[in-house]
Amino acid sequence: MSATTDSQHSRAGAQTLDWLLRAENLSKAFGQTQALSKACLDLYPGEAVAIMGPSGSGKSTLLHAIAGIISADEGKVILRRPDDEGLDDITTLSEAKRSAFRLHRFGFVFQQGMLIPELTAEENIALPLLLLGSGRTEAVQQANSGLERLGLAGLGERRIGQLSGGQAQRVAIARALVTDPTIIFADEPTGSLDSRTAEEVLDALLATNDGADRALVIVTHDEQVAARCDRTVRMLDGRIEATR
């Protein structure tokens, strides 16, 4: 087990000691800047992990590397298959295969939601299912179930510009959940919201792990957000300096 996680077995909400994702010695440089340096991290079912650190510390780079958005220069990212049917090494996949892998296994929530403004809320949520080959009727039904779960029943036909910031972020959460992902990655999901709306969005994000065998990873500058997670990983100069 990696050095960053061998004391983390008592985390709240974890349903098993078997990790879902293991990142081993990840390093990444952008030109002369070493964005990651031998970073190791295990993610477990049912836990929420906050990644913190000053600007430029490598938080988002770590998230992007373990989510397969970028390729690390060195190291491995290994994901356990559903029902413990084996392991997948994400770092060995081509860019096209990583993209397909992310669509199947991961969900994403970003600071600005990254929603498509030309589409309605239900269409934004249904899009991943359509890309995976679901029929439109089934995809829209699941999208509206997601909207209801997130307290947005009846808003499915509104475009993103007709929603508040908090509502739009909950649409992004519903979109992240619609494929029943193994891990949800959230990059500063409350960073552009007022404190009350941020708390509502965080409540919704943390609820995604209730009774689920998935992990939630949140990159944040907000100590209050981190305090509500099961574990906090602190970074400095591309290295994981501490966990709690």
- Residue 2 counted as domain residue: no
Q: Is 229 helix (H, G, I), strand (E, B) or coil?
A: coil
The structure tokens listed for 241 are: 């300096």
Bridge partner residues of 219 (DSSP): 51, 187
Q: Range of 33's domain?
A: 21-243
- Residue 203 counted as domain residue: yes
- Residue 200 counted as domain residue: yes
Could you say which residues of the chain have pLDDT below 70? 1-17, 113
Backbone angles phi and psi of 115, in degrees to 5:
-90, 160
CATH number at residue 63: 3.40.50.300
- Residue 53 counted as domain residue: yes
The structure tokens listed for 63 are: 């998230």
> Cβ of 53: how many Cβ atoms within 10 Å?
22
Q: What pLDDT is attached to residue 1?
A: 35
Residue 24 contacts residue 87 (beta carbons within 8 Å): no
CA geometry: angle 145, 194, 149, nearest 5 deg:
10
- Residue 229 counted as domain residue: yes
The structure tokens listed for 81 are: 């298959």
Q: What is the rounded distance in angstroms from the CA atom of residue 35 to the CA atom of residue 59?
A: 9
- The pTM for the full model equals 0.89
- Residue 1 counted as domain residue: no
Q: What pLDDT is attached to residue 113?
A: 64
Q: What pLDDT is attached to residue 3?
A: 38
- Residue 11 counted as domain residue: no
- Residue 3 counted as domain residue: no
Number of domains in the chain: 1
